[in-house]
Amino acid sequence: MESVRLSDTLTMDRIIHGHWRLMDWKMTKEELLNFTEEVMDLGITTIDTADIYGGFSCEEAFGDALKLKKGLREKLTIVTKCGIVFPCENRPQFETHHYDNTRKHILMSAERSLKNFGTDYLDLLLIHRPSPFMDPAEVSEAFRELYVSGKVKNFGVSNFDNTKFEMLSSYMEYPLVTNQVEISPLHLDVFQDGTMDHLMTRGLYPMAWSPLAGGELFTGDSEKVLNVKKTLLAIGEKYGEKRLDTLAFAFLTSHPGKILPIVGSGKIERIQNAIDALKIKFTSEEWLSVYKASIGKGLA
Ligand SMILES: NC(=O)c1ccc[n+]([C@@H]2O[C@H](COP(=O)([O-])OP(=O)(O)OC[C@H]3O[C@@H](n4cnc5c(N)ncnc54)[C@H](OP(=O)(O)O)[C@@H]3O)[C@@H](O)[C@H]2O)c1
């Protein structure tokens, strides 16, 4: 598996496996362990999750599987997130859906994640969403404490616009190593709102969430979806590739900005389809034909 270096202590696979839908996979901890080892056999050792996934249950479910095999955690790069809270069965103490990026909450959430995974370090911790009420000095202080104690090796953000990224960066003692954002052939905002330019200016690589638009590429029937599909499949003919997901992933991985797509499937063959995208490199003309099909108009 191709990999990219984000810092001295962080190398991530070019294709990452995402755990947002883990509870939907309905796996026992033994099945989840087997599945994780199958994913690793394909070459993926970077896992993306978040404290809130599965109503604050996915981290612990994954940790229960990891604990079955000594030494497995050390072979993985674990990315998790904090900062979103909402009331649910596992968190009845929260009264409303809101963002909490205070020092106290970040520290509490990171400790909880460590406990859930049964580990003493996280490879990368992301602030899940920016809050208009965020105090960057508090975030920086929490990150400093987590770094100094060795509990978190790297820090980043998710869903931040460029201004907020720069604002938080200016308070940080340790660099933000990535911004995890939505990118798929159906969601191209990052190429239009300056997010991609900003990351490339800084020499950073985005992690791309919902690279198949959460499955909409397969299930949607809008004109946009149909046009994007048709365009991807026409490009696929040139490469002898009929798999729509492989072509959608190739659209992302062909971009010069070294996008790191997070495949969200619970099916091993679909994870292989994502990895196979790395064998295809779209030309500028091919890439822009998908772009045009998605935005629904020609270029200037
Ligand atoms: N930072 C954030 O705010 C944020 C937000 C959302 C997600 N994420 C991260 O990004 C990861 C990926 O997101 P995602 O799960 O939305 O990714 P995705 O790959 O865009 O969508 C995955 C969904 O598409 C379905 N799918 C895949 N191939 C299909 C096919 N051929 N036909 C029909 N359905 C198909 C999958 O079902 P099967 O499981 O049945 O294959 C799954 O339900 C998450 O796990 C999470 O780690 C982050």
- Check residues 210 and 95 and name the one with the higher pLDDT: 210
The amino acid that residue 16 corresponds to is I
Cα 222 from Cα 185, distance rounded (Å): 14
Predicted confidence band at 90 (pLDDT cuts at 50, 70, 90)? confident
Cα 56 from Cα 121, distance rounded (Å): 19
Taken in order 13, 270, 289, 193, is the CA torsion positive or negative? Answer: negative
Helices (H) and strands (E) in the chain, counts: 13, 12
Residues of the chain above pLDDT 90, percent:
95
Distance of alpha carbon 241 from the chain centroid? 25
Phi-psi map region of 291: left, alpha, beta (phi>0 left; psi -120 to 50 alpha): alpha
Predicted confidence band at 114 (pLDDT cuts at 50, 70, 90)? very high
Cα 294 from Cα 300, distance rounded (Å): 15
Q: State the pLDDT at residue 25.
A: 97
Decide: 19 in ligand 1 pocket, CB within 6 A. yes
pLDDT of 54 strictly over 90: yes
Q: What is the mean pLDDT of residues 80-92?
A: 90
Residue nearest to atom 5 of ligand 1 (CA): 209
Cα 239 from Cα 262, distance rounded (Å): 23
Residues belonging to the chain: 300
Predicted confidence band at 141 (pLDDT cuts at 50, 70, 90)? very high
Atom of ligand 1 nearest to the CA of 20: 45
Q: State the pLDDT at residue 87.
A: 85
pLDDT of 91 strictly over 90: no
Cβ-based neighbours of 292, under 8 Å, separated by 6 or more: 298, 299
Q: What is the mean pLDDT of residues 81-88?
A: 92
Predicted confidence band at 92 (pLDDT cuts at 50, 70, 90)? confident
Q: Closest Cα to residue 165, out of 199, 125, 205?
A: 199
* Helix H or strand E segment including 214: none
Atom of ligand 1 nearest to the CA of 48: 47
Decide: 83 in ligand 1 pocket, CB within 6 A. no
Residues of the chain above pLDDT 70, percent:
100
DSSP string, 144-165: HHHHHTTSBS-EEEES--HHHH
The pLDDT tens digits of the residues spanning 62-76 come to: 999 999 999 999 999
- Check residues 135 and 95 and name the one with the higher pLDDT: 135
Q: What is the mean pLDDT of residues 86-94?
A: 86
Q: State the pLDDT at residue 76.
A: 98
pLDDT of 200 strictly over 90: yes
Measured N-to-C along each axis, helices 103-117 and 58-66 cross at an angle, to the nearest 10 degrees, of 40
pLDDT of 153 strictly over 90: yes
Predicted confidence band at 299 (pLDDT cuts at 50, 70, 90)? confident
Cβ-based neighbours of 169, under 8 Å, separated by 6 or more: 175, 176
For residue 300, the CA-to-ligand 1 centroid distance in Å is 33
Cβ-based neighbours of 296, under 8 Å, separated by 6 or more: 223, 224, 227
Residue nearest to atom 8 of ligand 1 (CA): 209
